[in-house]
């Protein structure tokens, strides 16, 4: 549903840490591990990357932590009210209502 939020992959970390008595190596969002890997693998600078996502606390924070520009899409988890809340410390560089808005922008630029 529109209001449904599912637990991320990190929700299992506590159980696994407790059963193995080992600390995790975090490679998922918002860790910079994957951004560093992708930048190196494809030979691009982080300033050439724009992280697009629908969650402030994972997708947008991932882009910010990785030194990239960020684009929040409001057709997913994050609403405009959440984005504009005075309690929200995470601000993307750009935001749009839906990803297809980018197609109109591309068409206008041609």
CA atoms within 13 A on the CB side of 105: 7
Question: In this structure, is residue 75 part of a structural domain?
Answer: yes
Cα→Cα distances 90→15, 25, 68, 72, 102, Å? 28, 24, 14, 11, 22
14/3 Cα distance (integer angstroms): 25
Question: In this structure, is residue 9 part of a structural domain?
Answer: no
Question: In this structure, is residue 15 part of a structural domain?
Answer: no
- pLDDT tens figures, 92-107: 999 999 999 988 877 8
- Number of domains forming the structure of the chain: 1
70: CATH = 3.40.50.1000
Mean residue pLDDT of the chain comes to 88
Q: Is the pLDDT of residue 83 over 80?
A: yes
Give the residue numbers spanning the domain of 96: 23-109
What's the mean pLDDT in 17-40?
86
pLDDT for residue 1:
44
Question: In this structure, is residue 3 part of a structural domain?
Answer: no
pTM of the model: 0.77
């Amino acid at each position: 549903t529109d209001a449904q939020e599912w637990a991320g992959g990190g929700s299992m970390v506590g159980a696994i840490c407790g059963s193995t008595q080992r600390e995790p190596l975090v490679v998922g969002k918002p860790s910079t591990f994957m951004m560093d890997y992708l930048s190196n693998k494809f030979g691009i600078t982080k300033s050439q990357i724009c992280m697009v996502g629908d969650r402030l606390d994972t997708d947008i924070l991932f882009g910010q932590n990785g030194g990239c520009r960020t684009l929040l899409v409001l057709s997913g988890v994050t609403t405009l009210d959440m984005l504009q809340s005075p309690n929200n410390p995470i601000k993307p560089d750009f935001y749009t209502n839906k990803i297809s808005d980018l197609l109109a922008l591309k068409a206008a630029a041609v």
